[in-house]
């Protein structure tokens, strides 16, 4: 199948602002990684220029090989930097962030798959900057509920894990060790272990999914107590990755957002350039009345 031509609405501005350059220097100085860079995020200019970023801990080498992802892979990841939590906390404080997202590569090579390191990063940020709201975007930890619990009770306010695509397309998109029902269990486990958490998931569109399947995924996520949702266009990082099936128009993203909210999600970011962490703090800073009325599960 020939890949369709990229439409005008997916044009991205080059990163040229002083704020962007300043943040890049801060990240490089502490030898940190950002998912913005590693995953070729199309919103890097907008987010970094606004003084926000999503940090990727546990190295830049993933032990899984999903067909959509630009992050490099290997059987074994980099050695875990024991000072990374403090470096991360120092950078977050220096950037004066009100909201920070911590994500990571998969680390199936580690005994705890990185769960304790995740928790240490959250704790370090909270110690240095207690007012900063922390979102985590985690792997599935191989479905181990005890590892999910460690992160869910780390002090973060939002626990995110992406289901990525509809049930039918899972095996062709994600690594064989990841699957639909396991991702749903991770999200439900996090909520059960810490009922005060907001849980969050994300879907890529344009992989060949049908609208009915997307809405069925909405229902499955809601059934598993997910509060927040992100919907974005899949963009192939290279010719070696899964090709784009179609480019979803902005109007369709708007319709899906309306459907998601009507079904019961508390918050939904939906658009061609939306990624998991795009304007992640907007719910907390622009929807105070909604935040106070969070459902009790």
Three-class DSSP category at 160: strand
Q: What are 39's two structure tokens?
A: 């995953």
The pLDDT of residue 288 is above 60? no
66 is in an annotated binding site: yes
How many Å is the maximal CA-CA distance in the chain? 52
In contact, 269 and 279? CB cutoff 8 Å? yes
- Please state the rounded mean pLDDT for residues 1-17: 66
Share of the chain above pLDDT 70, in %: 81
268 is in an annotated binding site: no
156 is in an annotated binding site: no
The pLDDT of residue 67 is above 60? yes
> What pLDDT does residue 253 have?
97
Q: Tell me the backbone φ, ψ of residue 82, rounded to 5 degrees.
A: -65, -20
pLDDT digits (tens, 9 = 90+) for 41-51: 555 555 555 55
> What pLDDT does residue 199 have?
98
The pLDDT of residue 68 is above 60? yes
- Which comes out higher in pLDDT, residue 288 or 166? 166
41 is in an annotated binding site: yes
| Helices marked H in the chain | 18-29, 35-38, 44-49, 84-95, 115-128, 145-152, 170-173, 180-193, 211-223, 250-263, 282-286, 288-292
In contact, 105 and 69? CB cutoff 8 Å? no
277 is in an annotated binding site: yes
> What pLDDT does residue 48 have?
54
pLDDT digits (tens, 9 = 90+) for 226-253: 999 999 999 988 888 889 999 999 999 9
Distance CA 164, CA 137 (A): 12
> What pLDDT does residue 29 have?
57
9 band by pLDDT with thresholds 50, 70 and 90: confident
Most confidently predicted of 37-51, 93-107, 109-123: 109-123
> What pLDDT does residue 297 have?
41
The pLDDT of residue 124 is above 50? yes
Q: pTM to 2 decimals?
A: 0.86
> What pLDDT does residue 70 have?
77
Q: Which domains does the chain have, with CATH numbers?
A: 12-290 (3.20.20.70)
Most confidently predicted of 1-10, 68-77, 256-265, 283-292: 256-265
């Amino acid at each position: 199948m020939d890949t369709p031509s990229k439409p005008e609405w997916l044009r991205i501005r080059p990163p040229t602002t002083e704020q962007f350059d300043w943040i890049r220097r801060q990240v490089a100085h502490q030898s940190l990684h950002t998912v913005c860079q590693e995953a070729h995020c199309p919103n890097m200019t907008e987010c970094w220029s606004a003084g926000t970023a999503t940090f990727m801990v546990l190295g830049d080498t993933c032990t899984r090989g999903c067909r959509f992802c630009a992050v490099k892979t290997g059987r074994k990841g980099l050695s875990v930097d024991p000072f990374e939590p403090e470096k991360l906390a120092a950078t977050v404080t220096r950037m004066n962030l009100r909201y920070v997202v911590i994500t990571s590569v998969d680390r199936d090579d580690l005994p705890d798959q990185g769960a304790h390191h995740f928790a240490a990063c959250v704790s370090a940020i909270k110690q240095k900057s207690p007012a900063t709201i922390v979102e985590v975007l985690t792997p599935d930890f191989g479905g181990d509920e005890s590892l999910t619990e460690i992160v869910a009770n780390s002090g973060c306010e939002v626990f995110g894990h992406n289901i990525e695509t509809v049930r039918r397309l899972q095996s062709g998109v994600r690594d064989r060790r990841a699957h639909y029902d396991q991702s749903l269990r991770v999200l439900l486990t996090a909520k059960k272990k810490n009922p005060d958490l907001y849980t969050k998931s994300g879907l890529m569109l344009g992989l060949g999914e049908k609208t009915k399947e997307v809405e069925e995924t909405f229902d499955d996520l809601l059934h598993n107590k997910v509060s927040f949702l992100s919907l974005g266009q899949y963009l192939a990082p290279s010719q070696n990755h899964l090709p784009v099936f179609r480019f979803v128009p902005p109007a369709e993203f708007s319709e899906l957002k309306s459907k998601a909210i009507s079904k019961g999600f508390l918050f939904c970011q939906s658009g061609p350039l939306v990624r998991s962490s795009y304007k992640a703090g907007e719910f907390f800073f622009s929807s105070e009345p909604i935040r106070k009325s969070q459902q009790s599960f």
